[in-house]
Amino acid sequence: MIRGIIFDLDGVIVDTAKYHFLAWRRMAKELGVNFTEEENEQLKGVSRRGSIEKIMRWGNIQLSEAEIERWMAIKNEWYLEHIATMDEGEILPGASDIIRQAKDAGLSISLGSASKNSRVILERVKLIDEFDAIVDGTVVSASKPDPEVFLTGAAQLGLPPEDCLVFEDAQAGVEAAINGHMKVVGVGSPDILGKAHIVIPNLEGIRLQEDIINKI
């Protein structure tokens, strides 16, 4: 029986991928490499470290460990400048409503995000008080598709993984939920999220009980 919901952040609750793109593209430009929106798509759900390593590989550039650390810090400063102006208007359609439906049904809710910036984002969009647990890149070490972030979320809710339902927009995130023996709703394209138990294009108009829980 589903007793808890775990939400990914970027791509499910807010679209911060566009801000990651601007910051990564600025860094890539300074390093003299091209960085496309298609490449940015492949960074969804990937950790900051995993992202810079991919950009280095695509751009065929080598950086020392110290330079990697420095560029990650600079990229994050630029990213923080973008998210500093976020407000409730940037919550993706249907996300607040699904959270409300979960709470009205007496379900516990956790965040399960790779981001180290999740708290500041949830504060900006005024959703932070809705969560019973916040598990993000500051508290886990293994990246999706490792299930650590979702298993930690389930543990913090005091629930077995089988009683949790994950909402995810990234392939690695869907795999992480499956690896953690949880039910997972893919939010996005079935071409990318085909391993999920249910795939929906977005959260708009979704009835949590009828459209998801009863069918999963």
Q: Which residues are annotated as a binding site for Mg(2+)?
A: 8, 10, 168-169
Q: Which residues contact 19 (CB under 8 A, 6 or more apart)?
A: 79, 82, 83
Active site residue 10: yes
Of 47-55, 85-93, 177-185, 199-207, the segment contacting ligand B16 by CB under 6 A is 47-55
Distance of CA 20 to the CA centre of its chain: 12
CA distance 76 to 61: 20
Q: Which residues contact 36 (CB under 8 A, 6 or more apart)?
A: none
Contact status: 175 vs Mg ion (CB under 5 A): no
Contact status: 20 vs ligand B16 (CB under 6 A): yes
Contact status: 183 vs ligand B16 (CB under 6 A): no
Active site residue 97: no
State the amino acid at position 210 in one-letter form. E
Q: Tell me phi and psi for residue 84, to 5 degrees.
A: -65, -25
User: Among Mg ion, ligand B16, none, what binds residue 48 when CB lies within 5 to 8 Å by partner kind?
Assistant: ligand B16
Per this entry, what is the length of the chain? 216
Of 67-75, 76-84, 163-171, 196-204, the segment contacting Mg ion by CB under 5 A is 163-171
Contact present, 131 and 107 (Cβ < 8 Å): no
User: Among ligand B16, Mg ion, none, what binds residue 134 when CB lies within 5 to 8 Å by partner kind?
Assistant: none
Q: Which residues sit at the interface with ligand B16, rule CB under 6 A?
A: 8-11, 17, 20, 43-48, 51, 76, 113-117, 137, 170
